Amino acid sequence: MKALELRTSLFKFDATQLGQAYRVVIGPQYLDAWQALQGLVKKPHPGLPTTGLEEMLAVLSRGPVKVDLFPQKEGGVSAIIMLYPLSVDTINEVLHLWSMDVLRIWNEQLIGIEGKLIVTDVVPLDTSHLVTPGDISSLAYTVIPWLVGQALIQKPMQAAMPIKLYQAADSSLLAWDDPIVSENDVRYASALHAIEPTLVLLHGRPQPYIQLRVKLTQVMPNLVGKKKHAWVKTGDLIVKAKLKTKKTVEGWETTYEHPVEKLLTFMGVQSFPPMVDGDIPIDSDVRPIYAIPPSNPMIASGPGPLFLDQAGFHLLASLPGTAPLLVKKAVASLREEKVVTTGEAANLNAMVLAAHADVMLRLHAASTTLAQDSKFFDKVMPPLVALTRLDVPDAQRMLEGKHDSNSLNDWLMNHVVPASKQASENGAKVMIVETSTSAASQEAGLDPKHVIRRVLAKHGIATQFIMHIDPDAQAKRRKTKADDRDFKATNSIIEAIRLSGHLPVPTPKVKSMPASTTVLSILLDRIQDKGPAIYLPVITRTVLGGNKPEVFWFESSLDSNGKWFSYGEGLAAIHGTDTLLKPDQLKTLVTQSLLDCKINSNDSLIVCLDANLRTFYGALKDGPGEGLPPVPSDAAVVRIRADHQVAQISGNHTLSPNSAHYIGTKVGAFQSCESASVFYFVSPSKQYGSVRSQRENTRYDVSERDLRDPWQQLGVTEITIITPGAFSTATVIAEQVALLCRTPSLWDGYLRLPGPMHLGKQVAADHPILEMRRKSEANRYGN
């Protein structure tokens, strides 16, 4: 019997069918003039405002344009790329107007720039030469998505109804004339379907593939609220224009960030339409986009699985030479080896730092009702939880952030740490700490959570936070039966169990795996401001069938050697580190962990590496590259990826090979029919499985009530076998890694990362530096 085959969002294509784009030939002094302009940039400004230049050229050419911020790197070959050509005179006039406006805005002068920032010709780009197998030009990643979009707009897409697509300057395709609309007596909402073509690689294959992603972009009903961009229609092109909002005498005024309309008026060209005051009509040519989607939207996120499959068939009908990449069921089922448990409950001792007695009561109640309130512990014996509340003065003021950082640090050192030492005599190394909405609403640097976590981690204590609920605010909420369960308290207890490092369920093992096998995982997180990035690798190991994971970290300081800690101790050591790592420190830590990587010396070994490590180890790249960490020769090396470049699953090719069809729920390990080393773990989220409205439907088919349901795609984890080591087949390795995603040792549901790597991800996510950075970015993005 033929194995089940599923369609993916990746497609083979014939580059000779795509047509051509264009590039400019720069004048002999273009690069000098450009670099002179760059030299005027005020630090730490990100650079020249090329977005405005792109918007001008896009409006004039009626197609996408890419201006290289650093054209000197490619010798000017990529200085300006465009889908449709413009005359040399027009481009030079735009460059002149734009450069003069930049100097005006910066209040600078640049003697002698006149006549130097010019192009001398516009020449076609032969697309077929950009994607020679094994030698893919960087220009292909810009140009080919444009050309794919150009093909997709030639005829209507067949969905619930024929949909006319418009190409946007950012390379996406929008169903501009067919928005999703919901309204009631108080408000209304609209959203646009978007299709985003990109170019991606697949491990072990020399040629690139087209990937389609779909999303729902929510449109604001007026200009009130936080926004960064607006969709702006000019002719048949749509520009994602940047916006700015400033306070005036009459109130808040929103304008285009770049003076495109003014500059194009000088050229006698109709430009962006004016902003609309008050309610924005559904068919307006200016449709502002939410910077932060509303918390209770009338139209929720996601266009659904069926629309993704319809978009794929539209590509097949629009572009000759395309074919979907398929995956086939790798194993009939993930055969987990059953483990005999003792039936004895584990003990968990945890401290509680709270200003309000009701927090302690909530945690006590949650610890005794885990079996009823958690689906995971409905099937697994929960631990016996003993909670000890710390008796410290001034807790409410400190936990609510009504202090400066120095006084908080003194309070922690003089009161909390001494109290925790006394409480830890019973073995408690985990503390649940109260926080509040007033503390959480402060800027990242003032939220006491980050200081508390770092200081306590330096003393070997792992922390979990629980939000205090204001009883007055709670009383105003309309209660339902489900509200009787305190999910925040339940989740805090579950996270405290994780922090203790003793997992309730042993790490699952497939029957075909050797009896004693260590799984070592390296998760990589990073942040980057101006200058080099800094990194946080979290290295974990566990033995299959065991329930005590370990973490590898520096023994005392970043200059010391690394060592294996218990999970809780390693987590505290990482959270107590004041800085992240430089590249050489990261590679040193990885190398040291692999010198002592097996829990038992005779263990078989699987090493799971985060795809983000490809920056340092070239063999992890999809394209050509060499170099791996120094893993033992008998170890299997597996690359794990669960980001936006991973193929999505769009349809059941066995059941419906010739037309779009709702794929339903699929769970299991699948192998790429294109690359034998690439496997996928496919699974639904809880949300996917529970939302009935997305089944067999697109957003065009459902009632306004069902538009409130968030829709999702099937979850996909890419499992790439880089080297199989001493294992019999790549399939055996992929089956084991897929099982680690399917059967977590603590959480209910499926994971996007294998369980041991997910444990590392939790450590990284809670690091004070990364947590504070994410909060700062969220605040900045929303303003």
Helix (H) or strand (E) holding 149: helix 140-152
Name the pLDDT band for 443 (thresholds 50, 70, 90). confident
- Name the average pLDDT for the chain: 91
Q: What six digits make up the tokens of 221? A: 């009903």
Q: How far is CA 236 from CA 57, 167, 192, 284, in A?
A: 15, 7, 16, 14
Task: Supply angle C-alpha 611, 632, 751, rounded to 5.
Answer: 35
Torsion of CA 373, 374, 378, 383, to 10 degrees: -100
Q: How far is CA 120 from CA 30, 94, 554, in A?
A: 10, 14, 57
Edge-to-edge strand list for the sheet holding 20-26:
65-67, 80-82, 20-26, 119-126
- Residue 418 phi, psi dihedral angles, 5° rounding: -60, -40
- The answer to whether residue 657 scores a pLDDT higher than 60 is yes
Amino acid at residue number 702: V
Domain ranges of the chain: 13-130, 347-500
Which comes out higher in pLDDT, residue 288 or 479? 288
What is the C-alpha separation between 510 and 506, in angstroms, rounded? 12
Mean pLDDT of 25-50: 86
| Cis, bond preceding 46 (omega within 30 deg of 0) | no
Mean pLDDT of 462-466: 96
Least confident segment among 20-24, 133-137, 567-571: 133-137
What is the 3 state secondary structure string of 303-316? CCHHHHHHHHHHHH
Mean pLDDT of 12-30: 95
Which pLDDT score, from 0 to 100, does residue 378 have? 86
Which pLDDT score, from 0 to 100, does residue 39 have? 87
**Nearest partner of 676 among 729, 748, 712, judged by Cα:** 729
Residue 1 buriedness (CB in 10 A; 0-12 / 13-18 / 19+): exposed
Q: How far is CA 479 from CA 334, 474, 483, in A?
A: 41, 9, 6
Q: Identify which of 47-51, 70-74, 101-105, 121-125 has the greatest average pLDDT.
A: 121-125
- The answer to whether residue 202 scores a pLDDT higher than 90 is yes
Which pLDDT score, from 0 to 100, does residue 572 have? 97
What is the 3 state secondary structure string of 708-756? HCCCCCCEEEEEEEEECCCCCCHHHHHHHHHHHHHCCCCCCCCCCCCHH
Specify the 3-state DSSP secondary structure of 382: coil
Do residues 217 and 192 make contact, with C-beta atoms less than 8 angstroms apart?
A: yes
**Nearest partner of 627 among 618, 636, 639, 637, judged by Cα:** 618
Which pLDDT score, from 0 to 100, does residue 339 have? 77
Which pLDDT score, from 0 to 100, does residue 783 have? 42
- The answer to whether residue 472 scores a pLDDT higher than 70 is no
User: How do 550-554 and 562-566 pair as beta strands?
Assistant: antiparallel
Which pLDDT score, from 0 to 100, does residue 276 have? 80
> pTM to 2 decimals?
0.94
Q: Which fold has domain 347-500?
A: Rossmann fold (3.40.50)
What is the C-alpha separation between 721 and 200, in angstroms, rounded? 18
**How far is Cα of residue 286 from the mean position of the Cα atoms in its chain?**
28
- The answer to whether residue 1 scores a pLDDT higher than 70 is no
Which pLDDT score, from 0 to 100, does residue 287 have? 95
Q: What six digits make up the tokens of 415? A: 């009161």
Name the pLDDT band for 780 (thresholds 50, 70, 90). low
For residue range 307-317, list pLDDT tens digits in order: 999 999 999 99
What is the C-alpha separation between 758 and 751, in angstroms, rounded? 8
List the end-to-end C-alpha distance of the chain, in Å, as a whole number: 57
- Which residues have a Cβ under 8 Å from the Cβ of 513 and sit 6 or more positions away? 337, 544, 604, 732, 736
Q: Burial letters for 520-534: b for 16+ Cβ neighbours within 10 Å, e otherwise?
A: bbbbbbbeeeeeeeb
Residue 685 falls in which region: left (phi positive, over 0), alpha (psi -120 to 50) or beta? beta
- The answer to whether residue 478 scores a pLDDT higher than 60 is no
Which pLDDT score, from 0 to 100, does residue 581 have? 96
Q: Above pLDDT 70, what percent of the chain?
A: 96
Name the pLDDT band for 74 (thresholds 50, 70, 90). confident
What is the C-alpha separation between 96 and 88, in angstroms, rounded? 12
Name the pLDDT band for 782 (thresholds 50, 70, 90). very low
Half-sphere exposure for 204 (CA within 13 Å, toward CB): 14
For residue range 598-642, list pLDDT tens digits in order: 999 999 999 999 999 999 999 999 988 899 999 999 999 999 999
**How far is Cα of residue 190 from the mean position of the Cα atoms in its chain?**
25
**Nearest partner of 31 among 73, 81, 92, 82, judged by Cα:** 73
Which pLDDT score, from 0 to 100, does residue 608 have? 98
Least confident segment among 264-273, 470-479, 598-607: 470-479
Which pLDDT score, from 0 to 100, does residue 537 have? 98
Mean pLDDT of 369-375: 90
- Which residues have a Cβ under 8 Å from the Cβ of 53 and sit 6 or more positions away? 67, 94, 95, 98
Which pLDDT score, from 0 to 100, does residue 669 have? 97
**How far is Cα of residue 631 from the mean position of the Cα atoms in its chain?**
28
Helix pair 755-765, 567-575: axis angle to 10 deg:
30
Per 3-state DSSP, what percentage of the chain is helix, strand, and coil (rounded to 5)?
30, 25, 40
Residue 460 buriedness (CB in 10 A; 0-12 / 13-18 / 19+): middle
Which pLDDT score, from 0 to 100, does residue 126 have? 87
What is the C-alpha separation between 101 and 256, in angstroms, rounded? 15
H helix count then E strand count, the chain: 22, 33
Q: Above pLDDT 90, what percent of the chain?
A: 74
Residue 84 buriedness (CB in 10 A; 0-12 / 13-18 / 19+): middle
Amino acid at residue number 611: A
**Nearest partner of 411 among 388, 422, 395, 434, judged by Cα:** 395
For residue range 701-759, list pLDDT tens digits in order: 999 999 999 999 999 999 999 999 999 999 999 999 999 999 998 888 899 999 999 99
Q: What six digits make up the tokens of 318? A: 């629009």
Is the torsion defined by CA of 466, 472, 477, 482 positive or negative?
positive
